[in-house]
Amino acid sequence: MTTNPDALIIGAGHNSLACACHLAARGWKVAIYEQAAEPGGAVKTGEYTLPGFRHDWAAMNLSLFAGSAFHETHAAELAKHGLTFAPTGNPFASVFPDGRWLGISNDPAITTARIRGFSEADAAAWTELTRNFPTDVEPILGALGTAMNLRAISSLGWKLWRKQGGGATLDLMRFLMMSPRAWLDQTFESGHVKATLAAWGMHLDFAPDVAGGAVFPYLEAMAGQAFGMVLGAGGADTMTKAMIKMIESRGGAVHCNQTVTGIKQAAGRAFGIILKDGTVVEAEKAVIANVSPAALTKLTGGTSNRRYDSALKKYQYAPGTMMIHLAMDALPDWSAPELKRFAYVHLAPSLDQMARTYAQAKGGMLPDEPVIVCGQPTVVDPSRAPEGKHVLWLQVRMAPGTIKGDAKGEITATDWEDAAGPFANRALDILERYAPGTRDKILGRYIVTPAMLEADNPNLVGGDQVCGSHHLHQHFANRPVRGYADGTTPIKNLYHTGAAVWPGGGTGAGPGTLLAKKLVGN
């Protein structure tokens, strides 16, 4: 006799997989239904250019996952199922038009010496940040790992107040509201140092002047120095594959090519899902939707809570991203040979350039000088390419989901199918300026537009890789809706997870883990 699963999960992104793993480890029977041909969402790897060259589709950096509460709990089991990391002590660097560069490495003395080359005052500021990091980061990480409800927030605030006092607590609140530029201007004097750190804000929809964005450059810089960076050995999909094996080993299942068209409910309670062919699959305890807010409304047809439905409808997304995957005969010849040792090289020369790029993309314009994140994963993990060859992972940030025009006045196309080639060439022109001769080393190229990202994974609306802006009005207790940041919904037994739910985007699997712990009580 076939029994219904305890939990049905819509979507096989990493938050769904983490949630399912934790539930399965606590004795729940789980089943995941995914519309795509393969699981993983934005975390998958493939030979998109040439045979033997393995490229991470979207997400590459697995540091958040490696340091997550989920991984800490399930590390041994995941390792048994093949999860393998490739660490590096040289996480990121920035290179500038004047030929200078700054890299953050897993050695405070080396990193501080590099910063001293730009400013003695900045080296002193960096030394102080480094010294205070273990104490200062504790409440920040505590907040990011805490369920966003009144009880949890009150408990966290009270603990901080008792441990560090009222002044320190208020200082933390002030810092969490600061823009990257405000914090960087108050902390450093060198434009090069500021730009190196501010580039991380562009990964998460925080241009230099957006309130609430200071914490991300701070965390990435300090954590990069303290812990380095972690990639997935052989590709980011090592994470996805290991979680699927863990689910299956515990009796769960992941069904791909299965589009969910509705959530079955009665008397304000969800009890199943409806597949595209009309099949109804029922759940004993929970239906969990890892979907965008707009998609959740379509699946439910709306709820009895008008405020909730209105907030999902008005939910705002960040600008998109274009990915350019390159199979390379050799690494770029940067202005400094040392840059060939870094996992990421940012091409983001100034705060003003980043602010302009963001404003242009938000206005629907193709930026005249987009920010380029040049990932060099084969520096860390040579297994991703044939011997002596390399792959480059280029994130072109920011890019409008819907094109209204071109800020440079050169590209006339307003659909991504026709604009992809010219805009990719603009990005490669920028890379060529910093590393002449790079084009001659390209063996294969594959462009992934914002439209393609969304077609592959509907959660990436307009190519937004973090499923919604993290600006203050849509973060913390407001992600995605005030009162529902813990994954609950107005429909009983229906839960919401994924990057649209607190604590938001990234590979840390926080939303899925917090929801699973809520459901099982630990």
Cis peptide bond N-terminal to 398, omega within 30: yes
Q: Which residue has the tokens 């705002």?
A: 316
Crossing angle for the helix pair 69-80 and 237-249, to the nearest 10 degrees: 70
Q: How far is CA 212 from the centre of its chain?
A: 17
Q: Which residue has the tokens 């739910």?
A: 501
The pLDDT-based confidence of 149 (bands split at 50, 70, 90) is: confident
Instruction: Find out whether 205 and 470 touch, Cβ atoms under 8 Å.
Output: yes
Angle at 60 between CA 319 and CA 101, to 5 degrees: 80
User: Helix (H) and strand (E) counts for the chain?
Assistant: 17, 21
**Average pLDDT of the residues in 160-178:** 82
CA distance 282 to 4: 6
Specify the higher pLDDT residue, 167 or 330: 330
Instruction: Find out whether 393 and 375 touch, Cβ atoms under 8 Å.
Output: yes
The pLDDT-based confidence of 156 (bands split at 50, 70, 90) is: low
pTM of the predicted model as reported, rounded to 2 decimal places: 0.96
- pLDDT score of 451 more than 50: yes
- pLDDT score of 79 more than 50: yes
For 277-289, how does the pLDDT look when each residue is reduced to its tens digit (9 = 90+)? 999 999 999 999 9
Alpha helices in 178-234 (DSSP H): 180-187, 191-198, 215-227
In angstroms, the first-to-last Cα distance of the chain is 30
Q: Enumerate residues 6+ apart whose C-beta is below 8 A from 410.
A: 422, 426
Alpha helices in 32-68 (DSSP H): 63-66
- pLDDT score of 112 more than 60: yes
CA distance 476 to 470: 9
- pLDDT score of 472 more than 50: yes
- pLDDT score of 314 more than 50: yes
Look at the chain and count its residues.
522
Q: pLDDT > 70: what percent of the chain?
A: 98
Here the tokens at position 75 are 């590390």
- Of the CA atoms within 13 Å of residue 26, those in its CB half-sphere come to 17
- Of the CA atoms within 13 Å of residue 475, those in its CB half-sphere come to 19
Q: Where are the domains of the chain?
A: 7-43+60-84+235-315+468-520
The pLDDT value given to residue 2 = 59
- pLDDT score of 251 more than 90: yes
pLDDT, averaged across the chain: 96
- pLDDT score of 313 more than 60: yes
- Domain 7-43+60-84+235-315+468-520: which CATH class? alpha beta
CA distance 155 to 150: 8
Q: pLDDT > 90: what percent of the chain?
A: 92
- pLDDT score of 72 more than 60: yes
**Average pLDDT of the residues in 24-42:** 97
Angle at 387 between CA 381 and CA 393, to 5 degrees: 45
CA distance 350 to 490: 45
For 176-204, how does the pLDDT look when each residue is reduced to its tens digit (9 = 90+)? 999 999 999 999 999 999 999 999 999 98
